[in-house]
Amino acid sequence: MESTYFKRFRMEVDLGVPRFAPALPPGYRFVAWDECLLDVHARTKFRAFRDEIDAEVFSCLGDLDGCRRLMREIRCKPGFLPLATWLVARGCSPADLQWCGTIQGVVDGRGVGMIQNVGIVPGHRGLGLGTCLVERALAGFRSRGLRAGSLEVTVDNGGAVRLYQRLGFRRTKTIYKATEAAALPPAGVPSSLVAAATF
């Protein structure tokens, strides 16, 4: 079976330094985690990722049921952190309500806050919503006393890499994700840096 490898960075930011949390643009608001919003997160994630490179890396992101499964998995992780899990909405009445962005946070075994997926629905990008959601998740990690925030990003996802660098994330590791089960790592890459593309 032929495999495609995607180069990804693990990036980390020190939470020990004070941070500036920007306000959302007018008309937008944060919506805190609630169990009844699991499907809203899944649908917003799907709309944000379905046409993007990460849907090639993680096929579940290009499929609504895959996003639902992924959200249930994230929710069931022992370190799932509601304080780092947010939606951005616009409008209040059922007629004009729009779900615009989603982020989830999990605490790993080392006491590091892991951002799972940040996604902004097309049409609401370039307004600072991604910046605000990442800062909101980092504030949630800080409120739990965590020392660092971390995430993984596909290197070819230039906009996302720029966003994280601007927010102070620095590369700590390079990983190669295989889209299909691979017998061998790409030429010249140690097998210890190769991970199967599964969530």
Ligand X SMILES: CC(C)(COP(=O)(O)OP(=O)(O)OC[C@H]1O[C@@H](n2cnc3c(N)ncnc32)[C@H](O)[C@@H]1OP(=O)(O)O)[C@@H](O)C(=O)NCCC(=O)NCCS
Instruction: Give the nearer residue to ligand X in terms of CB position, either 21 or 181.
Output: 21
Instruction: Report if residue 139 touches ligand X, rule: CB under 6 A.
Output: no
**Strand spans (E) along the chain:** 5-14, 28-32, 86-90, 98-107, 113-120, 148-154, 170-178, 194-196
Q: Compute and round to an integer the Cα radius of gyration of the chain.
A: 17
Contacts (CB under 6 A) with ligand X, residues 27-66: 48-49, 52, 54
Q: Which of 127, 155, 189, 194 binds ligand X (CB under 6 A)?
A: 127
Instruction: Give the nearer residue to ligand X in terms of CB position, either 155 or 194.
Output: 155
Q: Which of 29, 110, 162, 170 binds ligand X (CB under 6 A)?
A: 162
Shortest Cβ distance from residue 77 to ligand X (Å)? 18
Q: Which of 75, 125, 147, 171 binds ligand X (CB under 6 A)?
A: 125
Q: Which of 83, 163, 193, 194 binds ligand X (CB under 6 A)?
A: 163
Instruction: Report if residue 135 touches ligand X, rule: CB under 6 A.
Output: no
Residue 148 CA, distance from chain mean position: 16
Cα–Cα nearest to 71, from 93, 110, 43: 43
CB 147 within 8 Å of CB 14: yes
Q: Which of 14, 159, 198, 199 binds ligand X (CB under 6 A)?
A: 159
Residue 142, token pair as written in the block:
């800080």
For tokens 């004009």, name the residue.
96
Angle at 71 between CA 65 and CA 76, to 5 degrees: 130
Angle at 33 between CA 31 and CA 35, to 5 degrees: 130
Q: Which of 119, 146, 175, 177 binds ligand X (CB under 6 A)?
A: 119
* Chain positions contacting ligand X, by CB under 6 A: 48-49, 52, 54, 118-120, 125-131, 153, 157, 159-160, 162-163
